[in-house]
Structure 1
Amino acid sequence: MREALAGLTVRGRAFLTAGITAIVCSIILDQSTLARVGVLLLALTLITVALLARNRYRLTLVRTVTPQLVAAGQPARVTLTLANDGLAPNGVLLLEDQVPYVLGTRPRFVLEGISQGWRHSVSYQVRSDVRGRFEIGPMSVRVSDPFGLVELGRTFRTTVPLTVTPRTVPLAHIPLGGAWTGSGDNRPRAFATGSAEDVTVREYRQGDDLRRVHWRSSAKLGELMVRREEQPWQSRATLFLDNRTIAHRGQGIASSLEAAVSAAASIAVHLTHRGFAVRLVTATGEEAGSAWHVRGADLNTGPLLESLAVVQPVGQPRLDTSWLGEGAHGGLTVAVFGAVEATDLPVLRRMQHHAGSAVAVAVDVGAWIGAAPSADTTRLLGQQGWRAAALRPRDRLEAVWQELAHTSAQSSRSGSSRGTQPEVHA
């Protein structure tokens, strides 16, 4: 009862005050008619409070978001399924779902005709131009009487996540250097005694099917040898994103960091669709949620895009190089840089040294604050052996990516011809 009294609306408080005032005035003025009006207003308010206070309804909510992973600018649909497992409330249900402001306005619904066993579904659409991971919910429910005198509030605790990934654009196939690595047995090696048959066999391992034993090679080498299974070969690529605060300029979605994240997302999708196993590395090191794809798994860019969706600027001045330890492989490294300082050159040189091929998209951060375009970053990268192309605010990433096909580290340094590094079309 106390909660219901506290839930009196402005109209309900006005009715209550008017009823008391009318009764007092009727006593003073000796007007019985005025007293009846006061009693009516007071009784209507108190009876409504009592009816809502004794409600014993129990609402359940199931919230689903489809899809839960959506690109920036694309809509997602939220479906709310409500059911009443208790008594019917005496009034109208007012629903309001809590959503972050970047997803749009808070949706509100009015539901009537609720009975015991009642079930109903409503839906609304959300859309964000900003990448990130957002929580939708909780939902607040207010029960109001038909006269609008009392409102009682309840709040569900559950929320559902929605991940908005960066915008991506399709990229053309260009020649990229890099070594291929096997996803199954190691690449066959010719034995010292070297025949063509020897290349397709390996030592027997416990559990191998005896039907795979190659008896001629076993007799020649004096140990049991089995035929190799043909394995698909998959190239690995490291995608590096410089997300340091000092390397970027601008604010919000118009910043150079957002352009770099979007470029990295497009490159990640492109490399994955071309059969590369891609891992994401930022200024703070390797992202745990974007490990190498395992053999036999479907190519899926979801983990990479989810990691890029939540990338935030970091205040550290130096690039982390722990990922260049024993796990470094000599395959393809594609980097998206912001501003490069002289103190970064040893790290850039080391990254290029550990890569079979080093390709970079350099975001011209000066252009993001209205300064004149600069070629310093691409020049510095070229001096360290990188193939680099600049990305400015008005440039299309597709065109910059194709420019890399005609750029080599040598031409970045001195305008000479393209190098002779082995290439793999990606």
Structure 2
Amino acid sequence: MGRGGVPRPTGRGVGVLAAGVLVVLVGWLLQAPALVFAGTTLVVLIVAVTISLLFRTADVRVTRRFTPDRGVAGWSAVETVAVLPRGGRTSGTVRVREQLPFGRLSDAEAAAVLLVPGRASSAVFRHHDLPRGRHRIGPLHVDLVESYGVARRRVVASGVAEFVVVPEVVEVGLGRESRALGDGSRRQREHSLAGGEDDPVTREYRRGDPMRRVHWKATARHGELMVRQEEQHGLPSARVVIAVAAEGWPDARPTLPPTSRVGVRAATAAIPLVSDAFEWAVSFAATVAVEVGHAGSATVLTTPGGTLVARHDPDSTTMFLDDLADLRLDDAPGAPAPAPSPREPVVAVVSGLGRPDLDLLVASRAPGSSAVAVVVTAALPLGAGLTSRPTRPADGRARADDRVLAPDEVAGALRDSGWRVVETDSSVDVGRLITTSGVLDD
């Protein structure tokens, strides 16, 4: 069992205390010792019962199950908490409430659980409108209520669980018919007909390699998993670019977990930034990558600066979405992405951009490649919007020639560079936009 709180009277206990004090006062005014004694007895009883909770514990083991086992951003999930008493003295009815990083369950949402030694009891919580991310669920708060309901003590059961919420992927159904990406499945069939199964060009297995690439003859020969090198290189790819700089997303704002109790200065440095428009962009990028996978092609997801965000191929969707669950605004730069291949289609989803990122995005298009940019405007309240504004470099001094271009400026610059531009806002349905804009048809 984890830490315990200070026992407190319940609403009923406060009422009994008030009644006891009132009886004492009336008895004193009326010079009635019997009333004074009765009132004093009530007060002492409540105080004694409250103090007795200091010696009561709830030694329980907590396990959690989520349905589905991975959440989807914006959707709901059901959490089933099983509570098993571990001590023979732990019994009776308690109320349990989960501690969440993305919201707070009120006392009214606490679930009543009957603890019986040797038997697990369950409580069910439904979490709505899940935010994308890798969340730490727990610990469980357990309210020990005195049998007469006049006092309670809240204790915290040890143990937490991780719950991954991935971006929403919209089923579009265009990937298998895409003219731009259809070479993926065709090349795979040609490779198979050409005897790719016996391809001797192999290397050792690395984390993230699809199992379909395992070369079993080479594996048996080397005594460790080997994968086909040539097939990996031959798998056609597309490039999806997503802007992650918070300064370019007009609705980016800080958020603080509701359970945090750190100081203001310490909290400010660790507060993550969130943006509804950026969440829309992550869902768009995930949907495009999965559709590209339906066409038999791989996807490289990068930032405008060429930093690798994630990889996706038809056999790695779960891992890819897990990587996107971790993606945050202003993420630190990672490893550089591989250079774009000739004729590799590029789909970018951006909003405002600084001039350096815009120049790098234009340069990310390989010779002969199609390039589509989806420029997103945040669905802001009436009268709000993003205008060009200076960025603040590391030395803290803003320069007039170093600014974030507004979405309409970004769209114009990309059109001038030969990109096809689709302008939208984050209230538009991702699937409808992909279907009607022809993003996958170039």
Could you tell me how far apart the structure 1 residues matched to 2:21 and 2:141 are? Answer: 33
| One-letter amino acid of the counterpart of residue 304, structure 1 | F
Cα shift readout 1:367-420 (whole Å, capped 9, x = no counterpart) = 865799987545533443434433345655445555446986xxxxxxxxxxxx
Cα shift readout 1:33-66 (whole Å, capped 9, x = no counterpart) = 3355246425643663475444455222112222
Cα shift readout 1:247-300 (whole Å, capped 9, x = no counterpart) = 333357885433322221211221123222223212565346x3455xxxx623
Coordinate RMSD, CA, aligned: 5.0
Q: Give, in angstroms, the shift of residue 235 of structure 1.
A: 1.7
Counterpart of 2:110?
Answer: 108
Counterpart of 2:364?
Answer: 351
- Find the residue that maps to 2:365 and give its secondary structure: helix
Counterpart of 1:176?
Answer: 180
Counterpart of 1:411?
Answer: none
Could you tell me how far apart the structure 1 residues matched to 2:421 and 2:80 are? Answer: 46
Counterpart of 2:86?
Answer: 85
The answer to whether the 8 Å contact 1:4/1:50 transfers is no
Structure 1 residues 384 and 162, CA gap change in structure 2 (3 angstroms): same
The answer to whether the 8 Å contact 1:248/1:339 transfers is yes
Match of 1:323 among 336, 341, 347: 336
Structure 1 residues 263 and 36, CA gap change in structure 2 (3 angstroms): same
Counterpart of 1:74?
Answer: 75
Task: Give ranges in structure 2 of 5+ residues lacking alignment.
Answer: 203-214, 219-227, 254-273, 388-405
Could you tell me how far apart the structure 2 residues matched to 1:300 and 1:208 are? Answer: 20
Counterpart of 1:247?
Answer: 248
The answer to whether the 8 Å contact 1:104/1:127 transfers is no
Could you tell me how far apart the structure 2 residues matched to 1:165 and 1:209 are? Answer: 36
Counterpart of 2:288?
Answer: 267
Structure 1 residues 89 and 18, CA gap change in structure 2 (3 angstroms): farther
Match of 1:363 among 366, 370, 375: 375
Counterpart of 1:124?
Answer: 125
In the TM superposition, 1:19-418 aligns within 5 A as 31-34=32-35, 36-38=37-39, 40-42=41-43, 44-45=45-46, 48-49=49-50, 52-55=53-56, 57-89=58-90, 92-100=93-101, 102=103, 107-112=109-114, 114-128=115-129, 130-171=131-172, 172=174, 173-176=177-180, 234-250=235-251, 255-283=276-304, 285-287=306-308, 290-291=310-311, 293=313, 299-314=315-330, 323=336, 328-330=340-342, 331-339=344-352, 343-344=356-357, 346-353=359-366, 357-365=369-377, 377-392=410-425, 397=430, 398-400=432-434, 403-404=437-438
Task: Give ranges in structure 1 of 5+ residues lacking alignment.
Answer: 189-196, 211-227, 409-426
Structure 1 residues 283 and 69, CA gap change in structure 2 (3 angstroms): farther
Q: Give, in angstroms, the shift of residue 81 of structure 1.
A: 0.5
| One-letter amino acid of the counterpart of residue 386, structure 1 | W
Could you tell me how far apart the structure 2 residues matched to 1:24 and 1:366 are? Answer: 64
Cα shift readout 1:193-250 (whole Å, capped 9, x = no counterpart) = xxxx999998899x9989xxxxxxxxxxxxxxxxx99969522233210122343333
| One-letter amino acid of the counterpart of residue 267, structure 1 | V
Structure 1 residues 270 and 96, CA gap change in structure 2 (3 angstroms): same
- Find the residue that maps to 2:81 and give its secondary structure: strand
Could you tell me how far apart the structure 2 residues matched to 1:321 and 1:120 are? Answer: 45
Q: Give, in angstroms, the shift of residue 356 of structure 1.
A: 5.9
Q: Give, in angstroms, the shift of residue 97 of structure 1.
A: 1.4
Q: Percent identity?
A: 20
Structure 1 residues 349 and 324, CA gap change in structure 2 (3 angstroms): farther
- Find the residue that maps to 1:357 and give its secondary structure: coil
Alignment size in residue pairs: 368
Counterpart of 1:422?
Answer: none
Structure 1 residues 41 and 310, CA gap change in structure 2 (3 angstroms): same
Which protein is bigger by CA-based radius of gyration? 1
| One-letter amino acid of the counterpart of residue 282, structure 1 | T
Structure 1 residues 118 and 130, CA gap change in structure 2 (3 angstroms): closer
The answer to whether the 8 Å contact 1:242/1:283 transfers is yes
Q: Give, in angstroms, the shift of residue 152 of structure 1.
A: 1.8
Structure 1 residues 269 and 18, CA gap change in structure 2 (3 angstroms): same
- Find the residue that maps to 1:45 and give its secondary structure: helix
The answer to whether the 8 Å contact 1:239/1:335 transfers is yes
Q: Give, in angstroms, the shift of residue 95 of structure 1.
A: 1.4
Could you tell me how far apart the structure 1 residues matched to 2:5 and 2:353 are? Answer: 64
Structure 1 residues 391 and 51, CA gap change in structure 2 (3 angstroms): closer
Structure 1 residues 182 and 347, CA gap change in structure 2 (3 angstroms): farther
Structure 1 residues 90 and 145, CA gap change in structure 2 (3 angstroms): farther
Structure 1 residues 179 and 352, CA gap change in structure 2 (3 angstroms): farther
| One-letter amino acid of the counterpart of residue 146, structure 1 | S
Cα shift readout 1:99-158 (whole Å, capped 9, x = no counterpart) = 34558757301234x443242112121121643333322211111112222212211232
The answer to whether the 8 Å contact 2:249/2:277 transfers is yes
TM-score in terms of structure 2 length: 0.64
Counterpart of 1:223?
Answer: none
The answer to whether the 8 Å contact 1:352/1:386 transfers is no
Structure 1 residues 359 and 105, CA gap change in structure 2 (3 angstroms): farther
The answer to whether the 8 Å contact 2:340/2:365 transfers is no
